[in-house]
Amino acid sequence: MEFHDDYPQYELMAHHSEEEGKKARRKLWNVFWIMLVITIFELIIGFLAPGQGWSGTTWLKVLFITLTIAKAGYIVIQFMHLGHEVKFFKYAILVP
């Protein structure tokens, strides 16, 4: 019995140059590094909070919620291709 794959071979269908590929990879790495920095900051604050008496404080909760929303918004802007849209459209997607 022979298996026939109906899916296209995307490697052979790439219609971009190496320069465009480098730009795309750079964008992905930038997203990775920004997410990593924010996450490490969250972890540092999370580990320091109990020793400093910050656990359960309102400002700590607001900080974590703000950082989480910032990460989610950045991912939405980058991967839903909203970075080049008008400001109103970005707000219409991100605010609700």
- With respect to residue 54, please indicate whether it lies within any of the assigned structural domains: yes
Cα separation, 69 vs 92, in Å, equals 15
- With respect to residue 34, please indicate whether it lies within any of the assigned structural domains: yes
State how many domains the chain has: 1
| pLDDT (tens place) for every residue of the chain, 96 residues total | 566 666 656 556 666 677 777 887 888 899 999 999 999 999 999 999 888 888 888 999 999 999 999 898 888 888 877 777 777 676 677 776
pLDDT of the residue at 37: 96
- With respect to residue 32, please indicate whether it lies within any of the assigned structural domains: yes
- Structural tokens at position 61: 């909760």
pLDDT of the residue at 39: 95
Which domain covers residue 52, as residue numbers? 18-94
